[in-house]
């Protein structure tokens, strides 16, 4: 799992990174809020540890901007322990607030607790397909398969909207964004490769002639 560590003090980043790496996490670092947003956009991040007082963009503002991109767990760091600061953070939807100085071991324990809790709410299953959205991993009959980011997003969206016919235009806007200048063949190509990855479950993806696609699946009683 990828943890984004954001602090303008290199020593603090180094200490946190060392302990998280020893715990089996991959660490991505940023020294301010602006760079944190850039790193978040170009990496799949499972949790953010962010200092509040930083140059260029403070932690609160960066937290707001990141949550507009994707809802991920947040732990805020601060040298201030005032209740007002904590309330601002929790109003933004952060998961934990850690006051400096702190124990690196305790911070790692808090990271594990948050990820374990959130992981229960981030599992999608359908037939023998399982998506661990927090780890960004897909399993077919408990065997991990490798998908491109767009194949992953497409599969996830189809499963979240199972038994609903989705037009190619809808899929393009949801997966590629409204400013994408591709055409319907983009969807068709990705559906073809996605079916190949799904193996024996490939036929769950149905073609809706003249419209688009859907995943068709009825739960067994």
Q: Residue 74 forms beta bridges with which residues?
A: 48
The pTM score is 0.57
pLDDT above 50: residue 221: no
- CA 215 vs. chain centroid, Å, equals 23
pLDDT reported for residue 180: 60
Q: What CATH architecture is 2-119?
A: 3-Layer(aba) Sandwich (3.40)
> Lowest mean pLDDT: which of 73-77, 92-96, 160-164?
92-96
In the predicted model, what is the mean pLDDT of residues 148-154?
91
Residues of the chain with CATH 1.10.10.10: 123-215
Give the DSSP letter string of the chain.
-EEEEE-S-HHHHHHHHHHHHHTT-EEEEESSHHHHHHHHHHS--SEEEEESS-SSS-HHHHHHHHHHH----EEEEES---HHHHHHHHHTT-SEEEESS--HHHHHHHHHHHHHHHHTTSEEEETTEEEETTTTEEEETTEEE---HHHHHHHHHHHHTTT--EEHHHHIIIII-TT----HHHHHHHHHHHHHHHGGGGGGEEEETTTEEEE------
pLDDT reported for residue 68: 87
In the predicted model, what is the mean pLDDT of residues 180-196?
85
Q: Kindly report, residue by residue over 31-88, the tens digit of the pLDDT.
A: 999 999 999 988 888 899 999 999 889 999 999 999 888 888 999 998 876 676 778 8
Q: Does domain 123-215 have CATH number 1.10.10.10?
A: yes
Q: Kindly report, residue by residue over 112-140, the tens digit of the pLDDT.
A: 888 877 665 677 889 999 998 877 889 99
Residues of the chain with CATH 3.40.50.2300: 2-119
């Amino acid at each position: 799992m990828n943890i984004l560590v954001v602090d303008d003090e290199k020593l603090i980043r180094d200490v946190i990174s060392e302990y998280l790496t020893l715990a089996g996490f991959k660490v991505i670092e940023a020294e301010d809020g602006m760079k944190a947003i850039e790193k978040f956009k170009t990496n799949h991040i499972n949790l953010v540890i962010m200092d509040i007082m930083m140059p260029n963009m403070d932690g609160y503002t960066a937290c707001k901007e990141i949550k507009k991109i994707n809802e991920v767990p947040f732990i805020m760091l601060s040298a201030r322990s005032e209740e007002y600061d904590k309330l601002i953070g929790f109003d933004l939807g952060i998961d934990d607030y850690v006051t400096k100085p702190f124990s690196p071991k305790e911070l790692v324990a808090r990271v594990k607790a948050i990820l374990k809790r959130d992981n229960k709410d981030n599992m999608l299953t359908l037939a023998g397909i399982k998506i661990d959205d927090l780890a960004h991993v897909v399993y077919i009959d408990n065997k991990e398969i490798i998908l491109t980011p767009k194949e992953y997003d497409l599969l996830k969206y189809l499963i979240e909207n199972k038994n609903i016919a989705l037009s190619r235009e809808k899929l393009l806007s949801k997966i590629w964004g409204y400013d994408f200048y591709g055409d319907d063949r983009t969807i068709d190509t990705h559906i073809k490769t996605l079916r190949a990855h799904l193996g024996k479950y490939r036929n769950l993806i149905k073609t809706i002639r003249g419209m688009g696609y859907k995943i068709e699946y009825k739960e067994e009683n």
